Amino acid sequence: MRFVINLDSSIDRWKNIKKRLDDLGITAERISAVDGRKKSDPEIRDILYPMNYEYRYLFPRLLSKAEIGCFLSHKKCWQKLVDSDEEWALIMEDDLIISDRAPFYMKDTSWLPKDIKICQLSTHEKNWKLWTKKETIKLSNNDEIIEPLDKAHGTQCYVISKEVAIAALKYSEKLLAPVDDYLFSPYFEINKLFGTYRIQATVVTQFEEGSVIGERKNESLKAPFWVRHGLKRFLIRNKIKKMCRSGVKVESKFI
């Protein structure tokens, strides 16, 4: 299964990515994105954990409506996978630059080791640096699979198993953090259960203007200072910093 998340109003984006995928011999189903900007305030309150949620220190601000729309759009894809007879899905957003190397990864999952259940094919931006484990997995095309130790930005393009999709739906009845934090950050359950993996070099990056459904908003309501800078958040951040020091800093390449 292959899905492209696309707002109904973003007709040109769908045309552009469909043409690019067609040129690469890749078929994908368009998923109508959720526009969080159209959600009412009562709807938003039902979707989000409140500001006084006991685990607010894991992500100490409320999501913007755009981030909510992005998360709910990915949930639609996970649900379609869970409801299907398929075991894997490739999920893409529509603001992508796609490499000519992409078909190797997008046509099937034969390249993917059996014990890896979710893997990013994209980098948040070209030549972005992140901490990873020193050990890598070599693929038949001489690319590698790396395992990030800190937050691995971006849900532009990833493969996800039905097993992970079931867990992702289970743990996201209410939303605490943006979808990329939720899936790939060591702060959250999916990373703890399944790990985070990324191909190196990646085959997808995003346009400079970025997503129209998941834009981060600096003006989103922040938790009190004592939550953002309190002991619990300090301890978990310090734990992740220690993990990073055991690894190596690499450049997440796009070719």
Q: Give pLDDT tens digits for 123-133.
A: 987 778 889 99
pLDDT band, residue 227 (cuts 50/70/90)? confident
DSSP state for residue 156 in the 8-state scheme: S
The answer to whether residue 143 scores a pLDDT higher than 90 is: yes
Q: Report the alpha-carbon distance of residue 30 to residue 185 in Å, rounded.
A: 27
Give the pLDDT of residue 209. Answer: 59
List of domains in the chain: 2-252 (3.90.550)
Burial readout 117-154 (b: 16 or more C-beta within 10 A, e: otherwise): bbbbbbbbeeebebbbbeeebebeeebbbbbbbbbbbb
Nearest to 5, CA basis, from 186, 128, 157 = 157
**Rounded Cα gap, residues 109 and 105, in angstroms:** 7
Average pLDDT, the chain: 92
69-83, 140-154, 162-176: which range is least confident on average? 140-154
Number of other residues whose CB lies within 10 A of the CB of residue 77: 24
User: Hey, how many other C-beta atoms are within 10 angstroms of the C-beta on 234?
Assistant: 11
| pLDDT score for 215 | 57
Question: Does residue 74 contact residue 91 with C-beta atoms inside 8 Å?
Answer: yes
Q: How far is Cα of residue 157 from the mean position of the Cα atoms in its chain?
A: 7
Please enumerate in sequence order all residues whose Cβ is within 8 A of that of 6, keeping only pairs 6 or more positions apart, or say none: 13, 14, 17, 30, 31, 32, 33, 94
Whether 21 shows a pLDDT value over 80: the answer reads: yes
> What confidence tier does 197 reach under pLDDT thresholds 50, 70, 90?
very high
Give the lowest-confidence range in 5-9, 12-16, 51-55: 51-55
Helical residues (DSSP H) of 150-219, grouped into ranges: 162-170, 179-184, 189-194
The predicted pLDDT at position 222 comes to: 87
Q: Is the model's pLDDT at 217 over the cut of 60?
A: no
What is the average pLDDT across 212-225?
A: 66
User: What would the two tokens of residue 171 be?
Assistant: 């743990």
pLDDT at residue 125, as a whole number? 79
The reported pLDDT for the residue numbered 17 is 97
Residue, of 38 and 125, whose pLDDT is higher: 38
Residue 216 predicted with pLDDT over 90: no
For residue 77, give both structure tokens: 């894809």
Which pair of tokens denotes residue 179?
A: 């979808």
Burial of 166 (0-12, 13-18, 19+ CB in 10 A): middle
DSSP string across 69-102: HHHHHHHHHHHHHHTSS-SEEEEEESSEEE-TTT
pTM of the model: 0.92
Residue 212 pLDDT greater than 70, yes or no: no
pLDDT at 226 over 80: no
